[in-house]
Copies of this chain bind each other. A is one copy, B any other.
Amino acid sequence: MTDDMDLAALQRRLAAFAAARDWQPFHTPKNLAAALSVEAAELLEIFQWLTPEQAAEVMADEGTAHRVRDEVADVMAYLLQFCEVLGIDVLAALAAKIDRNELRFPRKDAPRDPSSGASGGAPGGAPGSSG
């Protein structure tokens, strides 16, 4: 990974990019949270009518693959800009969440009471599940 692909370096490029265009007044936490949500929905839109099998093959078509990477970049960009304006270290936040989830969702091979699982035997989906 070259230096200009380092997360912190990209976050600085995004901040400089916005500053050079006088976009900071628009980049409030609320607006960036809305924009992040909109971009995540645009990524989902690519998949909305696909069967699970078709969805697994999206990268095989170059046009669709480009669109997927483009939306991924948009989500990441707004997430980093959101963290920038609020002073959040996204990697530290993620590491802390994984730590919490390792306690919350024991490994399947660890001894545990099977009745204590998530309601309805739902798959969960940590570390993304609320809590």
Contacts and interface: CB of A to CB of B under 8 A. Distances in A.
B36 A44 contact: yes
Nearest to A4: B95
Given A7-B7, A87-B59, A127-B77, A98 B13 contact: yes
B42 A41 contact: yes
Interface residues on A, range: 35 or more
A107 B13 CA distance: 13
B79 A97 contact: no
B77 A79 contact: no
A79 B76 contact: yes
Nearest to A110: B20
Interface string A16-43: 0100111100111111011111111111
